[in-house]
Amino acid sequence: MMATEIRVPAMGESVVEATIGRWMKNEGDSVAVGELLVELETDKVNQELAAEEAGVLESILQPVGAVVRPGDSIGRIGTGNGASAPASTAPTAAPAAPAAGDGQGVPATPLAQRVAEDLQVDLSKVPHSGPGGKVRRDDVESFARQAEPAAPVAPPAPVAPAPAPAVTMAPAAAAPAESGRPESRQKLSRRRQTIARRLVEAQHTAAMLTTFNEVDLTAVMEIRKRRRDAFKEQHGVNLGFMSFFTRAAIAALKAFPEINAELQGDELLLKQYYDIGIAIGDPGGLVVPVLRNAERMSFAQIEQAISAYAKKAREKALTPDDLVGGSFTITNGGVFGSLLSTPILNSPQVGILGMHKIQERPVALNGEVVIRPMMYVALSYDHRVVDGRGAVQFLVRIKELLEDPERLLLEG
């Protein structure tokens, strides 16, 4: 049996590279068909790759943190008896062997050879536990740990004081030794790097401006209180605020179509459909899954879709298809306590609606001061496409619809 290459699959039309997030299996471990092998991090989602054949994970060609592209080989699965592995791995392993000191000719996996080179370990002295008599990464690391007290060249540098900065050069350069104050360095995830790049691009590309208003949510809260239990019993989800805001945004977009558009060169692409992106936060960063054709969705369908997306985000199960496209975005900083903010455009969209914390405040109503549940709302927009007048009127329309929510049913 020839060794089977583990290759990076295609991950969506806009995903051109990924980072090895973690390996679920070690070299030498047995794997079954469908068993998860490796997690790939992309700028959109994390994707787990399963074994297509049963056997033994004979070699890991790309370690955690490596950047790979669709089609790249990142590992090999074989029989584990050593019969097929040398023929398939020798071309890769041979050039790396001289880097292992006196261990030339010692059978070792490519990853073990790289680790041995980094730790300055002689492979010929390392006991092996891998299939076919090969030295594995774990063997090298275990040998290095045992040799540390007697062999100063095996560097315990991460915990050493300033006199041994060679192995930890980057952190040492960032923190002066005499300060003695603790610091740490953390590599940005692929998603965080992409979020940062796109936000900067949006600010550099669009003529972004934000307008604000406030909404009295008394009527919406009364409906939610009155219908909460029946809605949950009938549809299996809570009646939240997002369905009201989504329906209000769609009605306002119909009245101001330039905000549901995309600037392409010297042309404006006006969209007659309403694919609404809903920003959801998870530990890896903000993601924006899309409610496609949201104008056709009922309150219950909107809440069910958002709940399903939130669950997929927590479980890192979102797919690229969940995230591509979108004609307008809604983000709710209020769930984190934000009272007011200026959301950044989700390029190439030209508008984004920001929701915020609901706060009881004194307001003047019919000549009297009353306490009402108020929310500041913000619309960030591309001033190249949207005039200030249209942006202000857009928010006024949303305010009117939410303060008289029965109009959402009439205009929907």
Mind telling me the catalytic residues? 383, 387
Distance CA 91, CA 122 (A): 21
Distance CA 140, CA 188 (A): 28
Residue the block writes with tokens 């050593």: 82
> For the chain, how are helix, strand and coil distributed in percent, rounded to 5?
35, 25, 40
Distance CA 191, CA 42 (A): 6
Q: Give which of 399, 394, 342 is closest to 374, Cα–Cα.
A: 399
Q: Which strand (E) or helix (H) includes residue 190?
A: helix 190-205
Q: Is 169 exposed, middle or buried (0-12, 13-18, 19+ CB in 10 A)?
A: exposed
Task: Give the count of alpha carbons within 13 A of 159, CB side only.
Answer: 3
Residue the block writes with tokens 């930890």: 168
Q: Are 286 and 309 contacting, i.e. CB atoms less than 8 angstroms apart?
A: no
Residue 170, Ramachandran bin (φ over 0: left; ψ between -120 and 50: alpha; else beta): alpha
Q: According to DSSP H, which parts of 206-338 are helical?
A: 218-235, 242-255, 299-314, 320-323
